[in-house]
Amino acid sequence: MELEKDTYTKEEVQELLANAIQEKEQKIAEFQTKVQEYEQKITELQNLNLQSQIKSEMFKSGLSDDLFDLVFDSDVEKAKQKIAKLASFKQAQTPIYQPTEHKKEDAYTKAEQKGDVKTMLNAKLAKLFS
């Protein structure tokens, strides 16, 4: 806003002020829209960060990404608790089979347990020639 005259009438001053106020209001409105856009971007980035943290915890505990919907929460600590529960369920569901009744009980394994090399060799040679 440049002043060209030395004196202005009341109407001219009011018109100049109205124009200046309108310009400032436009700048304020533009600034507010930019602030809203940045706030939306910030919330999107926070959600992505939260999702990546939860997926990282799932990967650490050996869970697949298919279970993400079950584990997702707005708080990482609550999600960690859910992940721990699911991991414990997964471990409980997949028992490891370890046979105890199907051990070899031949002469060679008995001698091996005792550390008797002579008997071990005799058992191997007996298998070859029998």
Model confidence at 95, pLDDT cuts 50, 70, 90, reads: low
Alpha carbons 95 and 13: distance in angstroms, whole number: 87
Q: Is the pLDDT of residue 35 over 80?
A: yes
How many angstroms separate the Cα of 128 from the Cα of each of 36, 106, 107, 124, 125? 85, 14, 14, 6, 5
User: The tokens 């369920």 sit on which residue?
Assistant: 89
* pLDDT value of residue 1: 62
Alpha carbons 20 and 13: distance in angstroms, whole number: 11
Q: Is the pLDDT of residue 91 over 80?
A: no
Alpha carbons 28 and 2: distance in angstroms, whole number: 21
Q: Which of 76, 27, 24 is nearest to 50 (CA)?
A: 76
Look at the alpha carbons of 100, 101, 102, 108 in this order and tell me if their dihedral is positive or negative: positive
Q: Is the pLDDT of residue 103 over 80?
A: no
The pTM score is: 0.53
